[in-house]
Structures are given as structure tokens and as C-alpha cells.
Amino acid sequence: MKVSVQAVAAWGKIAPSHSITAIMITDDQQTIVTGSQEGQICLWGLSSELKISSKEILFGHTASVTCLAKARE
């Protein structure tokens, strides 16, 4: 059974900037990954109706994310 959970982001009055510098889509075409000038990586869900929804935002890089690549199994 697949359970869908909506991502919730909590921060102050202003959301963090996310100036996209890199983009990748997974092989199953259900997730878009973006890297930003501010150093975050974001995961976005992509529905069969081409609707995009936020899934996760990952912080921690100290420099811009300028390239994304998938790992091999």
C-alpha cells in the first residue's frame, strides 16, 4: 500500500531563496530534483497530470549546487 504524505515546510516570515542552478528528473519521471545558488537541494513530486508539489528541501551545502547526478545501483 502506497501512502502519500504532503511535505510541510516551517520557517519564519520569509521562505528561503531557491535560485535554481541545476535540475534533474528521475528515471521514473515522478521526482524532479533542483539545486540552487543558495546551496539547497529540493525534491519535487511530479504527477501524471504534470502537477508539481514540494516534497523535501535539503540544507547543508556551503556553496552553490551547480550539478546534479544520479547514483548507480
Q: What is the pLDDT of residues 22-59, one digit of tens each?
A: 999 999 999 999 999 989 999 999 988 888 888 888 88
**Concatenated DSSP letters of 32-57:** EEEEETTS-EEEEEE-TT--EEEEEE
Within a domain: 27? yes
- What's the predicted TM-score (pTM) here? 0.73
Cα separation of 57 and 8, whole Å? Answer: 10
Within a domain: 65? no
Number of structural domains in the chain: 1
41: how many CB neighbours lie within 10 A of its CB?
A: 19
Within a domain: 4? no
pLDDT at 71 over 60: yes
Q: Which among 22, 56, 14 is positioned nearest to 39, based on CA atoms?
A: 22
